[in-house]
Amino acid sequence: MEMEISMKTNERIDELQRNGYRIIQNPEKFCFGMDAVLLSGFCKVKPGSTVLDLGTGTGIIPILLEAKTKASHLTGLEIQEESADMARRSVAMNGLSDKIRIVTGDIKEAGSLFGAASFDVITCNPPYMIEEHGLQNPDAPKAIARHEILCNLEDVIGNTAKLLKPGGHFFMVHRPFRLAEIISMMVSYKIEPKRMQLVYPYVDREPNMVLIEGIRGAKSRMTVEKPLIIFDSEGKYMPEITDIYGF
């Protein structure tokens, strides 16, 4: 059952269009983006699976996956206590405290925070940007979410390799300009890339996101799915996008 939740300065409650679920966000700190929603749509979670979301922010991916799948339990790991606190209150507000656990902690230490080979599925919407180019304040929540300040790609994939069960699935959204690095890093940690989808803002633009799935210990063979286009020529969401959002 839903609970009444205390709100803090500058926070707001947003509807998620799924199961009547809502989420607490602070636009001055960081709000989830389309990449998180598309990742939740790209994920395939078998009934009864245990799921870990690395760098969960305000908990958007575990909450959406609880709505869309029959996972038995979901965990979100978040290093910023302010975000983790918002995530916990959102989980409680939606009456999901028995299904979703939010842990405050560092992705770099995830291998010791949780048992080895203890998750069926791991998801991640990590910081994309390598350099600190243009960063005014590297301690700001938005900077930490977008730039590799507190964790990098190898931290994510290396700890995923420790925590995934053999045959477990890893799902990540990232930027296409880092695709060569992503694939080589996954292979080096024996998370074999199995499925990939490029996301294009418009049909005649370059892709600006890549969705990728890997399986721990699988053999080499990857499927490239048809492109995912966000907007039609009039700037309206394509039908696939409205399906993912649940509009």
pLDDT at 160: 97
Between CA 93 and CA 6 the distance in angstroms is 10
pLDDT at 132: 56
Between CA 187 and CA 154 the distance in angstroms is 12
Task: Domain ranges for the chain, please list them.
Answer: 12-245
pLDDT at 225: 98
- Element of type H or E holding 50: strand 50-54
Between CA 130 and CA 210 the distance in angstroms is 16
pLDDT at 111: 87
Between CA 179 and CA 183 the distance in angstroms is 6
Taking CA 141 as the corner, what is the angle to CA 197 and CA 20, rounded to the nearest 5 degrees?
60
The H helix count followed by the E strand count for the chain is 8, 11
What are the distances in angstroms from CA 93 to CA 24, 57, 68, 87, 89? 9, 16, 18, 10, 6
List the chain pLDDT tens, one digit each, 247 residues.
456 688 999 999 999 988 999 999 998 887 888 999 999 999 999 999 999 999 999 999 999 999 999 999 999 999 999 999 999 999 999 999 999 999 999 999 998 899 999 999 999 998 766 655 555 556 565 655 565 566 789 999 999 999 999 999 999 999 999 999 999 999 999 999 999 999 999 999 999 999 999 999 999 999 999 999 999 999 999 999 999 988 6
Nearest to 71 by CA among 194, 169, 216, 174: 169
pLDDT at 29: 80
CATH superfamily of 12-245: Vaccinia Virus protein VP39 (3.40.50.150)
3-state secondary structure of 120: strand
Residues 164/170, Cβ–Cβ less than 8 Å = yes
Residues 197/35, Cβ–Cβ less than 8 Å = no
pLDDT at 129: 65
Between CA 237 and CA 118 the distance in angstroms is 38
Between CA 148 and CA 229 the distance in angstroms is 27
Between CA 169 and CA 194 the distance in angstroms is 9
Residues 97/66, Cβ–Cβ less than 8 Å = no
User: Which residues make beta-bridge pairs with 121?
Assistant: 51, 169
Between CA 191 and CA 78 the distance in angstroms is 23
The DSSP secondary-structure symbol of 232 reads: -
Residues 66/74, Cβ–Cβ less than 8 Å = yes
Between CA 173 and CA 38 the distance in angstroms is 8
